Amino acid sequence: MASVIITLKIMPESPETDLESLREKAKECIAREGGEVGKEEFEPVAFGLKAIKLIFVRDEAKGGTDKLEEEIALISGVNSVEVADVRRAIG
């Protein structure tokens, strides 16, 4: 099977939310699901609010990301989680 590159966009509840803690907890969830984070970004949204974008690779055979999204959404301080992009890795 091939690998897929997935971009998750995590929105915190407020600008005061500790993004570093949120990022670390989300990375732990991704690692438990067999993913390896390759790139991390903080994306300004509005009024001081920043989204966390985590780009990671995992085996396509693992299937969809619904379980992972639900697990990350349960982290304290997370408002929403969405898959912003999915691509099949070539090579």
Question: Per residue in 31-79, pLDDT tens?
Answer: 999 999 999 999 999 999 999 999 999 999 998 999 999 999 999 999 9
pTM greater than 0.75:
yes
pLDDT of residue 21 exceeding 90, the answer is yes
Residue predicted with more confidence, 11 or 1: 11
User: In Å, what is the CA distance from 22 to each residue of 32, 55, 63, 90?
Assistant: 16, 15, 24, 30
Residue 91 confidence (pLDDT): 65
Residue identified by tokens 């920043």 is 50
Q: Hey, what are 86's tokens? A: 């999915």
- Mean local confidence (pLDDT), 10-22: 96
Q: For the chain, which residues make up each domain, given as ranges? A: 9-52+64-81
Amino acid at the residue 46: A
Please say whether the structural domain 9-52+64-81 has been given the CATH code 1.20.1740.10.
no
